[in-house]
Structure 1
Amino acid sequence: MFAQPTKRALSAGALALAGALAFGVAGCSGSSDSGGSDEQIKVGLVTKTDSNPFFVKLREAAQAQADASGAELISLAGAFDGDNEGQVAAIENLVSQGVQGILITPNSSSGILNAIKSARDAGVIVIALDTATEPEDAVDATFATDNLAAGVSQGEWVKATLGDTAPQIVMLDGTPGGTVDTFRHDGFLQGFGVEEGAAEIVGQENTNGDQTKAQTAMENLLQRAPGVNALYTINEPAAAGAYEAIKGAGLTDQVVIGSVDGSCTGVENVKNGVIGATVMQFPAKMAEQGVDAVVKYVQDGTKPSGFTDTGSQLITDTPVDGLDSKDTSWGAENCWG
């Protein structure tokens, strides 16, 4: 059982949302036939932050799909990666605004369960995007990347590219306890073929997926582990920051860098040799399918269920035998579609 958020915590979350509310409420003109009513369908979207490019793309795709469906999208976000209280406050805010469905990329897979339950009890359909809840059936449905599989792909490519060289692995993780972070981390180890705590892992730092933090973390790690030759990164900003530190140390030919995201910037970094390979996700697909599911539910009562894998694809210009991959030309045409 999870404790209800305190009044003080909710107030803090609400304050954190003030900035998001200023720009996040976006709609379109016209109305939609919702189960025989002329009332416009309202869809709420709660992302982890409003600045990470992944969530920006997701929000833009959700807005476009809502516009095309004649629905109104109300977008809110946490103040920072890990702002669970802000997301709880956002859910309560959206319910009070009368949304019929909420799409959420949860910061904590378990910390928002009470808020989600309250929303569902009020008749609001709740769909997780990008990150599954724990348990998974705490929401009506999930549209997301299989992040364990994405991590496996990264690990397999880094291992295969390293070849017979004895590995010295550094891991630049995201946010401690995050579900996506855990799945990608565990998947990388599985794909690489090493256990947690193995001697081959010579360094590990949390970066919150931030480029500047990742660069600082990598600079520090290189002081302790100058022989590093295999690098796991939670996302492409972390990979870009790590590369700057590696370049500054004159070790670009020594370290094999893998990542996950598949942004257009990330694909360009693969093309330019900043990242060796990345695993592309499809946030636009998550958002589009989520909006469509809410609209369909309101219009005819069809409720989505279960986990829908929106796919992932290894992108690299240095393919290895036995691993399915696409080159950066394909990646540039499909980035974050």
Structure 2
Amino acid sequence: MRRVRRSARLTATAVVALACTVAGCSSTKSGGDDGGSGSGSGGKVVVGLVTKTNSNPYFVKLRESAKAQADKRGAKLIALAGKFDGDNQGQVDAINNLVAQKVTGILITPSSSKGVLGAIAAARSKGVLVIALDTATEPADAVDATFATDNEDAGVKQGAYVKAALGQADPKVVLLDGTPGSTVDDLRHNGFLEGFGIAEKSPAVKGTAVTNGDQSKAQTAMENLLQREPGVNAVYTINEPAAAGAAQAVGTRKGVVVGSIDGSCTGVRNVAAGKFAATVMQFPQKMAAMGVDAVADYAKDDTKKPEGFVDTGSELITDKQVGSVASKDTAWGLKNCWG
């Protein structure tokens, strides 16, 4: 019986050896299940990127910048996204997918500031560095660090400009918001009200609408708001696609000041063409490059772990400077759009 058992063990060993010869076997370090090993790409630093969508030009630029910086640093980028703005489950699935691929770090623009916290916590528990780009989580310390625009300040800049551009006109304001539950949406919305100098329930606010940052939804929403309040003369928009939709609905109406936030080259051209009055430029290329660098640096030296909030800056872009509101013109904007 002992001889039979010994023979069986030898046969099993031979099978394993043959399998390793055919497929290749690698040893696993203790804790090899943590996502920080980068072992999913032959030891190369692997950076995961999760954006809100693949279609919004802002996130396209952010992804392109992350890829360029990853190539520069000799790292591998795996980019995933939700199917639409607000697709929280899609982002959760993307995080889990990246952890399974043993990424070193994950850069994420969360659609919901609270909805991805469980997946982020699970990733961090496996040693994955997680950095929020553009959109903070709630609470902010759910991630290791955040590289983003100060979105409240960007909203303040939009609001201050739109109010100044109205001059002495009695304000009749509508608010085209993004996605409920997004920190970015709340900060920009509240910042606009602060910059404009009105409260949420002010009689000057004639209506609000959720647009998810989508041009067609924003156009429909603006058309409906104009039917209810034809005298609207000030429009807050969450981003430039929403501003483009609002501008399409406004058409040739005179005296309507549309403000926005993003700073894409397309958006700057729309400002130059007079489709909207101003936009607040962000710098997603900077966010993405900084995020990739942080993951690559951490992979080499874990004492270089990023933390806290890093403001990547913003600039108001307009060709119609008003009052004391600081701004850059569209010529500057076109040279620096999304830099």
Give the corresponding residue for 1:264.
Answer: 265
The aligned residue for residue 320 of structure 2 is 318
Q: CA RMSD in A?
A: 1.3
Q: Determine if the alignment matches structure 1 residue 63 to structure 2 residue 63.
A: no
In 2, Cα distance between equivalents of 1:173 and 1:143: 22
Tell me how far 1:175 sits from its aligned partner.
1.1
How is 1:13-28 mapped onto 2 (pairs within 5 angstroms)? Answer: none
Residue correspondence of structure 1 range 21-60 to structure 2 within 5 A: 39-60=43-64
Partner residue, 1:126: 130
Which residue is equivalent to 2:250? 246
Find the aligned partners of 1:220 and 1:133 in 2 and give their Cα distance. Answer: 32
- Output the TM-score relative to the length of structure 1: 0.87
Please list every run of at least 4 consecutive aligned residues from structure 1 whose deviation after the TM superposition is greater than 6 angstroms.
Answer: none
State TM-score, norm by structure 2. 0.87
1:257-287, Cα deviation, whole Å (9 max, x unpaired)? 1000000000000000001000000000000
1:192 aligns with 2:192: no
Determine which of 224, 233, 236 is the counterpart of 2:240: 236
Identity %: 67
Where do 5+ consecutive residues of structure 2 fail to align? Answer: 1-36
Whole-angstrom distance in 2 between the partners of 1:110 and 1:177: 8
Q: C-alpha separation between the residues in 2 aligned to 1:193 and 1:38? A: 56
For 1:175 and 1:111, the matched residues in 2 are separated by 13
| Residue 321 of structure 1: how far off its partner (Å) | 2.5
Partner of 1:22: none
Task: Please state whether the residue corresponding to 1:195 is helix, strand or coil.
Answer: coil
Counterpart-to-counterpart distance in 1, 2:140 and 2:225:
36
> What are the equivalent positions in structure 2 for 1:86-235 lying under 5 Å apart?
86-235=90-239
- Is the counterpart of residue 81 in structure 1 residue 122 in structure 2? no
Equivalences for residues 301-316 of structure 1 within 5 A: 301=302, 302-316=304-318
- 2:15 is matched with none
Give the distance between the partners of 1:76 and 1:200, measured in 2 at CA.
41
Amino acid at match of 1:323: V
Counterpart contact for 2:113–2:181, Cα < 8 Å:
no
Count of residue correspondences: 300
Q: Report how far residue 320 of structure 1 moved.
A: 1.8
- For residue 13 of structure 1, what is the aligned residue in structure 2? none
Larger CA Rg, structure 1 vs 2: 2
Match of 2:255, as an amino acid?
Answer: Q
* 2:168 counterpart SS class: coil
Tell me by how many angstroms 1:38 deviates.
6.9
CA distance in 1, matches of 2:45, 2:181: 35
Partner Cα separation in structure 2 for residue 95 and residue 216 of structure 1: 40
Distance 2:111 2:206 in 1: 28
SS of the residue aligned with 1:75? strand
